[in-house]
């Protein structure tokens, strides 16, 4: 295929895409294939000679969609959503066509300046203080890694990058057990080590105990460790647990520690002022991450990291070899100096399209609807004798078990979940909570309706009736 065929094939892809989106509801949400099934359809070697685009396109249509789990399906209630509002998909196509590589201002002035403006738009939309600036990353994992590397370097007075960690006091990071595994991974990669990520106990609400946090930091200092930073959880992945942000930041300030707030999922909800009390005090944080691709509607991938003072992170990650210098430039922003990778995609474009095409009010309405519908579903399930709510609604997430009169609730809940996902009408996933196998329910897909959420109740009742003869009378 050459450039002269671009219109033909991109139109064909667009037509395919429109039909796909229009008929998405008819597909099972989760891929119904077995491991190895797709690979068996692919020849073991790459072709030596060019193949016809018609054949390539047909193979795509015949092999790929049935081998995919459909994250844009309105009845996707698993994990957290990864969204793709139509306007942001279009922006992504345009960015792809320009093959944008946005490592330096010079390689992409429009991308750099739109990125700066989009971070400002989102900062204001989330109600954050005007001193925050920020950068767009691929994932919350990368944003958190950047923050944890910054914690390490700041605590070591920037000796780590230069001389390595040997001979230094072991650096310690603090977080609750409710934080995402990306915090653990960041500590591995940063050379801090799993055992130096101190998991602080939580209180009755699954928020980090500030008393225990303070005690752990002080005990560590006495024992010769080097406390460096605290990761604060707002909307944890398992059950939506949320720390007391203001109280933890107070401890951090007393102890001169750097703070990073992981609001990868729940951050989007902060465009609605009524949720902001849940991260009260956040303006005192050093770093905050939220993923507009999760709940706001931006095409995956898109993670925004806000920074109170970017110089610490730039000092940690910024390198300017001769071949990357911009000759004759004065003060310009080179966003690669804020992040781990050098090459960067043009992610700001999809935010620009998203925020303009739906408006903040349109996005707020979606988030408010998701929360209200999931709350309604929680109420219906709570009233059913065979289901028990295990953790109550946090943002748009609650967890439950299948608890008929007889039988082991963990095993029955696992069996019900398998049945649900083999059935394909809805998609739910699980977590472990205090030794219980529970099903997580969260809505956040961009086109999800009240009927879609209520369908969960109907599917649960119908499939559980087939599973267990011991339901409550
Ligand atoms: C609270 C939280 N933090 C971090 C992550 C990691 O996100 P990413 O896939 O963008 O690295 C997730 C993923 O779901 C999450 O829920």
Quick: pLDDT tens for 45-96. 999 999 999 999 999 999 999 999 999 999 999 999 999 999 999 999 999 9
DSSP track, 16-62? HHHHHHHTGGGS-SS----TTTTGGGS-SS--SS---HHHHHHHHHH
Cβ–ligand 1 contact at 243 (below 6 Å): no
Q: How many whole angstroms separate alpha carbon 364 and alpha carbon 446?
A: 11
Cβ–ligand 1 contact at 143 (below 6 Å): no
Q: Which atom of ligand 1 is nearest to the CA of 235?
A: 1
Which CA distances in Å does 19 have to 14, 15, 23, 127? Answer: 9, 6, 6, 38
Cβ–ligand 1 contact at 265 (below 6 Å): yes
**pLDDT value for 226:** 98
Kindly report the CATH number that applies to the domain delimited by 3-67.
Answer: 1.20.1340.10
The Å distance, Cα 466 to ligand 1 centre, comes to: 35
Yes or no: say if 421 and 428 are a contact pair by the CB < 8 Å rule: yes
Best mutation site among 137, 140, 239 for ligand 1, i.e. most ligand atoms within 8 A of its Cβ?
A: 140
Cβ–ligand 1 contact at 139 (below 6 Å): yes
Cβ–ligand 1 contact at 180 (below 6 Å): yes
Q: How many whole angstroms separate alpha carbon 419 and alpha carbon 425?
A: 11
* Strand (E) or helix (H) holding 442: strand 436-442
Cβ–ligand 1 contact at 238 (below 6 Å): no
The Å distance, Cα 179 to ligand 1 centre, comes to: 9
| 459 phi and psi angles, rounded to 5 deg | -65, -45
pLDDT tens for each residue of 339-369 = 999 999 999 999 999 999 999 999 999 999 9
Best mutation site among 265, 279, 293, 440 for ligand 1, i.e. most ligand atoms within 8 A of its Cβ?
A: 265
For the chain, the structural domain boundaries read 3-67, 101-345, 363-467
Is the domain covering 363-467 a CATH 3.90.1170.10 domain? no
**pLDDT value for 331:** 77
Burial class (CB in 10 A: 0-12, 13-18, 19+), 410: middle
Cβ–ligand 1 contact at 291 (below 6 Å): yes
- Rounded (10°) angle between helices 53-63 and 6-22: 20
Partners of 259 in the beta sheet?
230
Cβ–ligand 1 contact at 141 (below 6 Å): yes
Q: How many whole angstroms separate alpha carbon 366 and alpha carbon 269?
A: 10
Q: How many whole angstroms separate alpha carbon 280 and alpha carbon 207?
A: 14
Q: How many whole angstroms separate alpha carbon 40 and alpha carbon 44?
A: 9
State the CATH class of domain 101-345. Answer: alpha beta
Cβ–ligand 1 contact at 369 (below 6 Å): no
Cβ–ligand 1 contact at 237 (below 6 Å): yes
The Å distance, Cα 142 to ligand 1 centre, comes to: 10
* Spans in the chain with pLDDT lower than 50: none
Best mutation site among 175, 182, 265 for ligand 1, i.e. most ligand atoms within 8 A of its Cβ?
A: 182
Give the tokens for residue 55: 């054949």
What are the strands of the beta sheet with 436-442, ordered from one edge? Answer: 387-394, 397-402, 436-442, 429-433
């Amino acid at each position: 295929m050459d450039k002269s065929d671009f219109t033909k094939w991109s139109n064909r892809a667009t037509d395919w895409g429109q039909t796909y989106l229009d008929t998405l509801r008819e597909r099972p949400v989760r891929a119904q294939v077995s491991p190895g099934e797709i690979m068996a359809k692919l020849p073991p070697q790459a072709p030596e000679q060019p193949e016809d685009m018609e054949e390539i396109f047909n193979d795509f249509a015949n092999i790929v969609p049935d081998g995919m789990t459909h994250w844009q399906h309105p009845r996707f209630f698993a994990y957290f959503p990864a969204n793709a509002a139509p306007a942001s998909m279009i922006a992504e196509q345009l960015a792809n066509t320009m093959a944008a590589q946005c490592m330096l201002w010079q390689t992409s002035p429009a991308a750099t300046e739109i990125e700066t403006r989009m971070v400002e738009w989102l900062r204001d939309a989330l109600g954050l203080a005007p001193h925050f600036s920020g950068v767009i990353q691929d994932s919350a994992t990368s944003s958190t890694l950047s923050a944890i590397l910054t914690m390490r370097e700041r605590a070591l007075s920037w000796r780590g990058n230069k001389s390595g960690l040997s001979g230094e006091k072991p650096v310690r990071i603090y977080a609750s057990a409710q934080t995402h595994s990306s915090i653990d991974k960041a500590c591995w990669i940063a050379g801090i080590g799993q055992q130096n990520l101190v998991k602080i106990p939580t209180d009755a609400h699954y928020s980090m105990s500030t008393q225990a946090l303070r005690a752990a930091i002080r005990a560590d200092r006495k024992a010769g460790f080097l406390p460096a930073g605290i990761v604060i959880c707002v909307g944890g992945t398992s059950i939506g647990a949320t720390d007391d942000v203001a109280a933890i930041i107070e401890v951090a300030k007393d102890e001169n520690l750097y703070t990073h707030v992981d609001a990868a999922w729940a951050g989007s909800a902060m465009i609605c002022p009524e949720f902001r009390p849940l991260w009260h005090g956040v303006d005192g944080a050093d770093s905050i991450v939220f993923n507009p691709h999760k709940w706001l509607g931006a095409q995956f991938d898109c993670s925004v990291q806000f920074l109170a003072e970017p110089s610490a992170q730039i000092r940690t990650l910024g390198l300017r070899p001769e071949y990357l210098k911009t000759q004759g430039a004065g003060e310009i922003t080179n966003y690669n100096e804020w992040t781990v990778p050098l090459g960067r995609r043009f992610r700001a474009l999809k935010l620009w399209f998203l925020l303009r095409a739906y408006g903040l009010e349109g996005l707020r309405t979606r988030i408010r609807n998701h929360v209200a519908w999931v709350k309604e579903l929680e109420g219906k399930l709570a009233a059913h004798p065979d289901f028990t709510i295990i953790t109550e609604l946090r943002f748009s997430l609650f967890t439950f078990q299948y608890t008929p009169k007889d039988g082991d609730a963990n095993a029955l809940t696992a069996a019900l979940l398998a049945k649900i996902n083999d059935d394909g009408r809805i998609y739910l996933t699980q977590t472990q909570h205090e030794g219980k196998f529970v099903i997580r329910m969260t809505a956040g897909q961009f086109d999800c309706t009240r009927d879609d959420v209520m369908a969960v109740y109907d599917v649960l009742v119908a499939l559980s009736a087939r599973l267990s003869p011991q339901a409550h009378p």
